[in-house]
Amino acid sequence: MCGRFVSTTPPAQLAAYFDVDRVTGAAEAHRPNTNTAPTSDVLVVVEEGEVRRLDAFHWGLVPSWAKEQSIGNRMINARSETAAEKPSFRRAFTRRRCIVPVDGFYEWAKVPGQKLKQPYFIHRPDDEPYALAGLWEQWTPPEPDGVDDPDGGEGSEPLRSVTILTTGANHVMSAVHDRMPVVVPPSGWDAWLSPEMQDRDAVTTFLVAAPDALFRLRPVSTEVNNVRHHGEHLLDAVVPIAGAPAGSD
């Protein structure tokens, strides 16, 4: 799965990396975060029409039919094996795909005989961003009961939200977890982002584990367990808990 990640590359640099046409104000205002947690606003690359933009969406997908935003708290990830069929994700799977650029992500490994898990920072060996496969939706909050809105709810601010697709772990990632986020290769960015590409079989070809060579595992401090903790020191390597995997940095 993917429940916490690092986002520190400046928006302008990401825009150049992903060949973005426009950077929204929300993306420009995004601040670096070494401990990004669900329900945060996160940077995304989306394409609508012929315009590719860098934007900021709520992490935790809220389906258009939802009655309340809190449903998104349970939808930070979507299993790639079933996303095309699940009511919460299937429409987005067909025409609202996106990329969530991250500088790395965290995963926690179980340690035999210990209640405490060992956290790892997972990153590329070249330290370039990962292009995580995402799905997005737009949701308009319903009017409260008893409120007569002459505009039919049109005055409510729509929420754009995102979920990250996961798949079975590759060999490197299997040392710490049996799932991992789907990474879209540069050769697939155009097709993945295109709303015109609606062939489910073609979309499914992207939903595989990325090569082992793209992943390095670094044991880090359990300080990252607390979402209130931030700072570059969270990425520093530590000696892992006895019995935990050594990592691959």
Q: Mind telling me the catalytic residues?
A: 2, 107
Report the DSSP pairing between strands 130-139 and 97-102: antiparallel
Q: Which residues contact 120 (CB under 8 A, 6 or more apart)?
A: 106, 107, 108, 109, 176, 217, 218, 219, 220, 245, 247
Burial of 194 (0-12, 13-18, 19+ CB in 10 A): middle
Q: How many Cα atoms occupy the beta-carbon half-sphere of 92 within 13 Å?
A: 31
Q: Where are the beta strands (DSSP E) in 37-157?
A: 41-48, 51-59, 77-79, 97-102, 104-109, 118-123, 130-139
Q: Where are the beta strands (DSSP E) in 92-241?
A: 97-102, 104-109, 118-123, 130-139, 159-168, 179-181, 216-219
Q: Which residues contact 126 (CB under 8 A, 6 or more apart)?
A: none
Q: Which residues contact 148 (CB under 8 A, 6 or more apart)?
A: none
For residue 12, list its beta bridge partners: none
Report the DSSP pairing between strands 77-79 and 51-59: unpaired
Report the DSSP pairing between strands 33-36 and 104-109: unpaired
Q: How large is the C-alpha radius of gyration of the chain? A: 18
